[in-house]
Amino acid sequence: MISCLKNKGVVFYENEEVIDIKVTNGTISNITTNKQELIVDEVVLAAGSWSPLITKKLDIKIPVQAGKGYRINTIKETGISIPAILCEAKVAVTPMQGFTRFSGTMEIAGINHKINTVRVNAIANAAESYYNNLEISPKEKATAACGLRPCSPDGLPYIGKSSKCKNLTIATGHAMMGWSLGPVTGKLVSEIISDRKLSLDLAPFHPDRKF
């Protein structure tokens, strides 16, 4: 996908942090990163759990909380070939190429990547209790990682333009469904920016909605 976009002329600035945004007459004119200053015409904000930190600079409130989830990968042959959700334990099981991934938990503990081993062990224990002969090693538990899901108060993402800024399209708050919903959100964002007919009524996802 990335090489396809690069072939079409899309330029990626990697490992670069947006540190300031300049607004002139309700329109973003410049974005300053830690490496350069960009003059912009349209801006898409898709900064996940960090989105409120950026909209704060624009005096826009986007309530998003980081919901931390953990994953453990096991490279041992597990014989698991069917993805599953262990409903009672709230653990997702995903056979990947060369390893099996167990993931779960929703920890509301701010923006950080600290690993809570109690939660990691709970995922491992749950997985082992569902699958005969499955053993997750201490090393695999020790290399567990976490990620931050951007969660909104009503569980719906924010997709659309804030009334406070003409050229800012917000696309965040996808919580546990960001990989699945990324493509459709991308399509909607392109329709918003190019002023095309929307494929979906976006009223429930409006960034200005109140709770």
Ligand X SMILES: Cc1cc2nc3c(=O)[nH]c(=O)nc-3n(C[C@H](O)[C@H](O)[C@H](O)COP(=O)(O)OP(=O)(O)OC[C@H]3O[C@@H](n4cnc5c(N)ncnc54)[C@H](O)[C@@H]3O)c2cc1C
What residue ranges bind ligand X (CB under 6 A)? 17-18, 46-50, 54, 69-71, 92, 103, 147-150, 172, 174-180
The least CB distance from residue 208 to ligand X, in Å, is 19
- The distance of Cα 89 from the centroid of its chain, to the nearest Å, equals 23
Q: By CB neighbour count within 10 A (0-12 exposed, 13-18 middle, 19+ buried), where does 4 fall?
A: exposed
- State which residue, 50 or 131, has the beta carbon closest to ligand X: 50
- State which residue, 134 or 178, has the beta carbon closest to ligand X: 178
CB nearest ligand X: which residue? 178
- State which residue, 47 or 60, has the beta carbon closest to ligand X: 47
The least CB distance from residue 88 to ligand X, in Å, is 18
Whole-angstrom CA distances from 32 to 9, 19, 43 are 22, 6, 13
Count how many residues are written for the chain. Answer: 211
- State which residue, 71 or 164, has the beta carbon closest to ligand X: 71
- State which residue, 197 or 209, has the beta carbon closest to ligand X: 209
The least CB distance from residue 46 to ligand X, in Å, is 5
The least CB distance from residue 56 to ligand X, in Å, is 11
The least CB distance from residue 96 to ligand X, in Å, is 11
Contact 72, 124 (CB under 8 A): yes
- State which residue, 49 or 162, has the beta carbon closest to ligand X: 49
Q: Distance between CA 196 and CA 175 in Å, rounded? A: 27
The least CB distance from residue 122 to ligand X, in Å, is 13
Contact 160, 190 (CB under 8 A): no
- Would you call 96 helix, strand, or coil by DSSP? coil
Convert 201-211 to b/e letters by CB count within 10 Å (16 or more is b). Answer: ebeebbbeeee
CB atoms near residue 59 (< 10 Å): 10
